[in-house]
Amino acid sequence: MNSSVASSVRRRTFLSVGSNLGDRVSFLRQAIESLPDVVAVSPVYETAPVGGPDQDSFLNVVVELDTDMMPLNLLGVCHRIEANAERVREERWGPRTLDVDIIWMADMEMDTERLTIPHPRWKDRRFVLAPMRDLAPELVSDEDLRLSDGSVTQTGDL
């Protein structure tokens, strides 16, 4: 395999997946089915939008991967999955059919124009922390959750 696509190191990785337009459940399911190396999926949370314009609530999950993909290649996969859901990027933090963000990768830190890992706002957002805590309680403290912004309600599984 091309070394720019994969490394010999597998990393525990977390992605946040959300939707607030169209058939939200279907968009989440299709995204998860399209992701490589899925280990676990959190319960679904209904979440109020944080920042951005007035808009409908989101459905959010966190997906755990065990992947050897390099971060920028995984970002490309995330963008292709969003494009397949006909995501339109008209307004920052605006409504969207699908949003797939790399949140955290084990033993990985990077800050480039295209990608920052860990995600720069992951500890600020309850819609990331609540489902991530279901999969990785050792990464999300009670204090992190208490200090995060937004409201979330667990709605069940996909």
Please give the CATH number for the structural domain made up of 6-156: 3.30.70.560
Catalytic site residue from 10, 12, 29, 87: 87
Domain segments of the chain: what residues? 6-156
pLDDT tens, position by position, 39-96:
999 999 998 887 766 778 999 999 999 999 999 999 999 999 998 887 666 655 567 8
Residues 31-43 have a mean pLDDT of 97
Q: Is 99 a catalytic residue?
A: yes
Whole-angstrom distance, CA of residue 140 vs CA of residue 1 = 34
Count the helices and strands in the chain (H runs, E runs): 4, 8
Catalytic site residue from 99, 125, 126, 133: 99
Residues 29-33 have a mean pLDDT of 97
Q: Is 111 a catalytic residue?
A: no
Q: Is 146 a catalytic residue?
A: no
What number of CA atoms fall less than 13 Å from residue 140's CA on the CB side? 24
Catalytic site residue from 11, 24, 96, 133: 96
Look up residue 136 and give its two tokens: 């990785």
Q: What is the pLDDT of residue 50?
A: 74
Residues 11-39 have a mean pLDDT of 96
Q: Is 96 a catalytic residue?
A: yes
The model's pTM is 0.90
Does the pLDDT at position 31 exceed 90?
yes
Q: What is the pLDDT of residue 2?
A: 43
